[in-house]
Structure 1
Amino acid sequence: VVSVGPKEAQEQIRSAMALGADRGILVETTDEIGALEVAKILKGVVEQEQPQLILLGKQAIDDDSNQVGQMLGALLGAGQGTFASVVTVNGDKVQVTREVDGGLQTVELNTPAIVTTDLRLNEPRYAALPNIMKARKKPLETKSPADYGVTAASKLKTVKVEPPAERKAGVQVKSVDELVEKLKNEAKVI
């Protein structure tokens, strides 16, 4: 399991190890880094570790950008299946099924392959106390972005974050006739 972020990200790595991962790598940085920098770091990890299947979340919790998996695929020249709701591994092939507007789409990828996951991929489970205790003894390596030839400086800077403007409360109507009347006379949309 790999995470890129501050020292506190060890908690998520330990949780993943309690669920079955053998070891973890934390690429520690306190700098605000963008999706491209994360993808470059992960490229270094993949080249070093040589996994055949790279699983990533669909979107990051910080910027919700949905970019790292696709950028990693481009940097590695590897096939990718995005928004996976079903993943089937058969030898050196990976079938990824995802929901699209018209139904389901299944793609087949050669390994090494990158898969970004959707919520429907699995049912979340909880770690048992004995596994949580065992996870404390599993190896967790701490690296820096420089170990993978990446400078942690992002080309993007968050200037500010603000909530959307407050909206007025909606109006409930008791009948279709009243709704049509309000749409005609107040909203003037029909």
Structure 2
Amino acid sequence: MLDRQSQRSLRTGWTAFLVLLFLSPALAVDKSGVKPTSISLPSGPGSIEGLGSDFEPHLNTGTSSYNVPISLPAGTAGHSPSLSLNYEGGFGNSSMGIAWSFSNSTIRRQCEKGIPRYEPNGADDDFDGLTDETDEQDRFLDPSGEELVLMDNGIYYPENQEQFIRWRHITTDGNDYWEGH
């Protein structure tokens, strides 16, 4: 058995040990090479950008989406297209990989209502003098997937208007035009 003095010093020693044990992480020096203050990202053209605010978790499906913008130099009159590499957790395989897609503004031929013909629309396949059957005309989709319908003026418009975009064009000779859908 230990005497009172030995018990007290043993208890004090254990208390000091436990206090130091719990405080030691706060006093430790972080020697990690991945601290945000240790890494300096390059700046200028071609620099890496962080996740930013584009990362969006979809809590109801357990997936997420993320866009990686691709910076392009300004073109004619300062205009440049906006391109991005997009991640959608529930998206299937594509030319960019699983769950990735490229935001290119394209008009594409619809395949779910038949094999595309890749010929001018209006070709009379059954030689009845009419191009009235759906398999005699290709169907086109806009970048958002909306079917484009050929109007009487020969221009394709979305079947259902969604954005109603208009822009004003004033020519150098003073003519004022409103264009768009």
> Which protein has the larger Cα radius of gyration, Structure 1 or Structure 2?
2
TM-score under structure 2 normalisation? 0.16
Higher RCO structure (Cα 8 Å, ≥6 apart): 1
What's the TM-score once normalised by structure 1's chain length?
0.16
- Higher percent of residues as helix: 1
